[in-house]
Structure formats: structure tokens, C-alpha cells
Amino acid sequence: MTELQEEILKRRTFAIISHPDAGKTTLTEKLLLFGGAIHVAGAVKSNKIKKTATSDWMEIEKQRGISVATSVMGFNYGDYKINILDTPGHQDFAEDTYRTLTAVDSVIIAVDVAKGVEAQTRKLMEVCRMRNTPVIIFVNKLDREGVDAFSLLDELEQELKISVRPLSWPIGMGQRFKGVYNIYEEKLDLYTPSKQVVTEKIEFSDINSPELEEIIGDEDALQLRTDLELIEGVYPEFDVQEYLDGKLAPVFFGSALNNFGVKELLDCFVQIAPTPRPIKTEERIVCPEEESFSGFIFKIHANMDPNHRSCIAFLKICSGKFERNASYKHVRNGKMMKFSSPTAFMAQKKSTVDEAYPGDIIGLPDTGNFKIGDTLTGGEDLHFRGIPSFSPEMFKYIENADPMKTKQLNKGIDQLMDEGVAQVFTNQFNGRKIIGTVGQLQFEVIQYRLLHEYGAQCKWEPINLYKACWIQSEDMTELENFKRRKFQYMAVDKEGRDVFLADSGYVLMMAQQDFPKIKFHFTSEF
């Protein structure tokens, strides 16, 4: 076995996704705690302790207590090298999450036991289904009262449209929560509420032994045996291949805040989760074991370090070995590039790496060379597909509130748009800039970051628009006619492509009927 194959087998790259407040950031922290990457978990919610969650490092995230940008964290666990991407749960930042899902091999979904499956989780699951990404479900917050475990499993199957199989089972919940029985390893885990200590485990393969009563009491022992019998009867045996094909989701129960059930999840995860998988490009399928290096940029982040005005492009390595100071081809502009200081991440802390392997995510310092979706290779022309920009649904004119700072404002808008925070359109009728976003919160984030990172003040002005669509046509005369007739509603995006800004659903529908030869696209990837 070559060194490359060995390294590939050690890699596990995954994202944690959920609805806001299902405990995703807390779960990420606890996984890092077990990996020895951090020593004290930051209390996410508590403002008394000035230690905020490791993965939420942007100023605005600390103030709001939510995650607004995907962060990457790598650590070693036993023989495995694990890369976690913690994604924003808030729906206004869904686009960042969709892009992140193109860079991972599997996903862990956190579900709040009291709230069950929520809207955002459903949407994200659709993206996983499109790509057949393997999914593990972690049912969180069992130290609170919530939905009965069997009803919850039914809800997961119906709402997420995937078969489930519990690999651990709760004993009571809320005040009566005593622990979980680990079906996968046949062990009993007893629960003592503590945010810092890890709970004791008891080897327990014979569930019918009378010892069970002594440990958890008669009533719970009876209940557990009945439940387990029912599980064996109702759910098929756990099949790893079904999980890897994205057809079956194993389910774990626990309480991330109290460190409970997280290690069980991690131990099972490293054994069954997929290693980096082959990735489809426009030209061919790229396998991780290939000698030749390739990778793509799925995210760009400005100002990771507020003291240095720098952009960082996040590169997911798809095949071969990446080496520092080697020359690689930037496919879009055909140039060869060298990187003297590529970095590995632990949220905001960065360390320089000399080499990286498929599945790893590294940061490349960016001075404006990269766009989301760019490919780097050892020389071959490859184009990775599938990093979409969605059509925005909210629009505002952005105006300069301080004429002395025009240059800073323009630079700020450029960098933030490269990052994919939102999209900018220039109206051809009056030359004004329009910002389009997926959610209201993004306007606040843009305003906040322009002020704090670029020293530029902007103000928003309302504009009434329904949707932005990219237009394209074989028939040039028809395209020119359309642009003439809709002159007031035509704009160009950052790449200079034509965009039609429809001010109502009716107008859009009529345009599609009147101009049958024009294609209207709702994502920029066509």
C-alpha cells in the first residue's frame, strides 16, 4: 500500500448540519474535546465566561450567539485524521452551507429531541440526497423532556425521507434520564450530568442478566428490554453499505452539552464513515488515489485575521498530494501558481502545512486570484461542477454614507461578494449597485462587516424586486429585443453576465411566454 493510500484511509471529512439551536456548535466543540484539540469547552451561551465557542470567531457571531460562516477544524483521533466543517444553522446563510456540502464526504445531522425535524434540516437533507451523501443522525438534548424515541424515529423517516436504524437507545429522558444503551458496542453508558467530565461505561452484552435491575432499577430495565426487542423486530440489521450509499441513517442519542453520547457517536463514526470519495468533473471522474494533484475552491473568506487585510481561499483536495512551494495550474486563468504559506485550520488559529492529502481542507492566501468554484491541478484542465449561487430573494440598493470612503466601500463590497456572502448586480438603467441576498440577516452582517473591517459606512434603500434570473439565448436578435424592451430591469452580475430583475411573479411569467427562445436560469451554474 502506498503512502498516499494509507493517508486517504485515515481521512474523515464531514459537516455538522442542523436547524439553529439544535446544539450543532456545542456538538462540534465536544468532538474537538475528545480529539484533544481543545481542553476546555467554551460555554456557547454564557456571557459571564468570556470564552466563546471555538468555531464562532467572527465578532458578530460572538455578539449574536449564532454561527454565520462555515469554519473548518482538523484534529487527530487515534489513527484517524478528522476534518469537521461547522456550518451556519441560520437559514439566511443557507447558501454557505450548501457550498460546504460539496466539500464533505459525509454529514452528521443534529436534531433537538423536543422540536424534532425542523424546516432548515429538511432543506439540507435534500442537498444530501441529491449527492447521496451518507448521513448519521444525533438526537440531542436528552437531559430535557422531548418526543418519545419511537415517534421521533418515525418522524425522521417521514420528514427526511430516509430509512433509520438506532445504534444507541435512551433510558428515560429529562429528569428521569439515566443513560443510553449502546447497541453498536453492546455497552451500557450511565449518565451523570457534567459539562467537563466524561461518563462511565459498563460492558454489558447480556441484556437479560438480572444485574441490569441493580443498575438502572426494575421499571427502566423492563422498559429497555421491551424497547430493544421491538427495535430488533421492526428495524433491519445495520448494514454499513446501505449507510455508505446514503440509503440508511444510523441514529444516536445523547446530550452534547453534558458530554454525553458524543464519544459513542465519534467511535462508531470513525469506523463506518466513508474515506474521501471519487468526485465528478466535467471531463471525467477523479479518484483520490491518483498521483496527480487536484482540488477546488469552495469558499473564500476575507479578514480572518482583523489585523491583516487578507483573504483566504478554502481548498478541498480531491486527489494526489498537495505540497508547499510546488507549482500548480490555476485552470480558469491558465497560470501556474506557487503557495509558500498554505495553512491548516483550527477555527481561527492557523498553522502552515508542508503537505496535505485528499479529504483535507487547506487555506490559500488570496490576493484576488480566486473565485468560488476555481480548480487547481498538477497541470490537467479539470472543472469541478456543482457549486451553485442561488437566485437571491431580497434586494436593496446599497448607497455610500460617507463620500470620503468610496474606495474602501468598493473594495469591501468586492471582497465580501467574492466570499459569496451575497450577490451584487449593477443596474444598467441608472448604474446603481443592488445587493441581493437569501435572507434579511445578511444585510446586517454586510453593513456590520463593511464598517468594522473596511471602515466604510453604507446605507440601504428599498427596491421592489421579485427575483433575479440569469438569461441566455442562442438567438441573438431575440436577446437584443428582450434587453431593449426590459432596459429598466436589466443588470449585470460580477462576472458581467446578463441578469433580468423581475419585479413580480406575473412579469416573469409573461416574459417567459413572450420570449420562448430565451432561457431563464435561477442558479448561476448553467
The CATH number of residue 460's host domain is: 3.30.70.3280
pLDDT of residue 43: 35
- Is 80 within the bounds of a domain? no
Residue 387 inside a domain? The answer is no
Q: Quickly tell me which residue has 437584443 as its cell.
A: 480
Which residues lie below 8 Å from residue 5, measured CB to CB, with a gap of 6+? 289
**What stretches of 360-506 adopt beta strand conformation (E)?**
361-366, 375-377, 394-400, 423-427, 433-437, 458-462, 467-473, 490-492, 498-502
Q: Are residues 95 and 210 in the same domain?
A: yes
Q: How high is the pLDDT of residue 75?
A: 80
- DSSP assignments along 151-165, one per residue: HHHHHHHHHHTSEEE
Q: Is the pLDDT of residue 175 over 70?
A: yes
Of 77-81, 142-146, 272-276, minimum mean pLDDT range: 142-146
Cell of 288: 483520490
For helices 406-418 and 441-454, the axis angle rounded to 10 degrees is 130
Domain match, 263 and 317 both: no
Is 263 in the same domain as 285? no
Residue 383 CB coordination number (10 Å): 14
Q: Which helix (H) or strand (E) holds 127?
A: helix 119-130
Residue 450 and residue 412 in contact, taking contact as beta carbons nearer than 8 Å: yes
Paired sense of beta strands 490-492 and 423-427, if any: antiparallel
Asked if residue 1 belongs to a domain, the reply is no
393/500 Cα distance (integer angstroms): 13
N-terminal to C-terminal alpha carbon distance within the chain: 40
Domain-ending residue, one of 377, 402, 419: 377
Residue 347: pLDDT band by 50, 70, 90 thresholds? very low
Please name the residue that has the C-alpha cell 437559514: 91
- Taking 80 as the threshold, does the pLDDT of residue 437 lie above it? yes
pLDDT exceeds 70 at position 90: no
- 3-class SS shares of the chain: helix, strand, coil, % to 5: 30, 30, 40
Per-residue pLDDT averaged across 126-147, rounded? 85
* Rounded distance between C-alpha atoms, residue 105 and residue 244, angstroms: 10
pLDDT above 70: percentage of residues in the chain:
82
Q: Is 78 contained in some domain?
A: no
Asked whether residue 126 is domain-assigned, the answer is yes
Per-residue pLDDT for 50 more than 50?
no
CA 258 – CA 518 distance, rounded (Å):
56
| Residue numbers of the domain that contains 329 | 279-377
Q: What is the pLDDT of residues 203-262, one digit of tens each?
A: 665 666 677 777 777 788 888 888 888 888 888 888 899 999 888 999 998 888 887 888
Place of cell 434579511: 440
Q: Are residues 414 and 444 in the same domain?
A: yes
Whether the pLDDT of residue 41 is over 60: the answer is: no
The pTM score is 0.74
Strands of the sheet containing 201-203, edge to edge, are 168-171, 179-182, 187-190, 201-203
CATH code (residue 321): 3.40.50.300
Q: What is the pLDDT of residues 15-26, one digit of tens each?
A: 888 777 777 778
Residue 329 lies inside a defined structural domain of this protein: yes
How far, CA to CA in Å, does 203 sit from each of 25, 78, 186, 206?
30, 21, 7, 9
Query: Which residues are bridge partners to 76 per DSSP?
Result: 81
In terms of pLDDT, which residue wins out, 347 or 204? 204
In our burial notation (b when 16+ CB lie closer than 10 A, e otherwise), range 191-221 reads: beeeeeeebeeeebeeeeeeebeeebeeebb
Q: Where are the beta strands (DSSP E) in 243-334?
A: 248-253, 279-280, 285-286, 294-302, 311-319, 322-323, 327-330
Same domain flag for 141 and 237: yes
At 45 the pLDDT is: 35
Q: What pLDDT does residue 426 have?
A: 93
For residue 480, what pLDDT is reported? 92
Q: How large a percentage of the chain has pLDDT more than 90?
A: 18
Distance CA 289, CA 279 (A): 12
Q: Are residues 129 and 180 in the same domain?
A: yes
Q: Nearest to residue 398, comparing CAs of 343, 435, 364?
A: 435
> Which is higher by pLDDT, 184 or 160?
160
Q: How far apart are CA 143 and CA 178, in angstroms?
A: 9
Asked if residue 97 and residue 42 are part of one domain, the reply reads: yes
Number of domains in the chain: 3
Quick one: CA dihedral 317, 320, 324, 327, positive or negative?
A: negative
Do residue 308 and residue 406 come from a single domain? no
Tell me whether strands 458-462 and 394-400 are parallel, antiparallel or unpaired: antiparallel
Q: Angle 25-31-37 (CA atoms, 0-180°, nearest 5)?
A: 105
Residues 224 and 301 placed together within one structural domain of the fold: no
DSSP 301-313: EE-SSTTS--EEE
Residue after which a domain boundary falls, among 332, 348, 377:
377
State which of 377, 404, 420 marks the end of a domain.
Answer: 377
Grade residue 427 by pLDDT with cuts at 50, 70 and 90: very high
Residue 303 has pLDDT above 60, yes or no: no
Choose the weakest-confidence range: 44-53, 192-201, 254-263, 433-442: 44-53
Average pLDDT, the chain: 80
**Which of the four pLDDT bands, split at 50, 70 and 90, describes residue 346?**
low
CA 455 to centroid of chain Cα atoms: 29
Q: ∠ CA(341), CA(347), CA(349), 5° rounding?
A: 50
Same domain, 331 and 442: no
- The segment with the largest mean pLDDT, out of 58-72, 75-89, 399-413, is 399-413
Q: Would you say 317 and 279 are in contact if contact means Cβ atoms under 8 Å apart?
A: no
Contact 434, 89 (CB under 8 A): no
Separation between Cα atoms, residue 459 and residue 519, nearest integer Å: 34
Say if residue 476 is in the same domain as residue 511: yes
Distance CA 447, CA 412 (A): 10
Nearest to 425 by CA among 456, 389, 384, 401: 389
Average pLDDT for 42-46:
37
- Is 385 domain-assigned? no
Top-confidence residue, 348 or 121: 121
Of 253-257, 350-354, 371-375, the one with minimum mean pLDDT is 350-354
| Whether residue 87 has pLDDT greater than 80 | no
**Residues near 229 by Cβ (< 8 Å), separated by ≥ 6?**
none
d(C-alpha 313, C-alpha 319), whole Å: 18
Phi, psi of 170 (to 5 degrees): -75, 145
39 and 166 belong to one structural domain = yes
CB atoms within 10 A of CB 330: 16
> What does the pLDDT average to over 402-413?
90
Mean pLDDT of 103-127: 84
Least Cα distance to 106 among 10, 31, 27, 14 occurs for: 14
- pLDDT band at 177, cuts 50/70/90? confident
Mean pLDDT of 38-53: 41
In a domain, 427, yes or no: yes
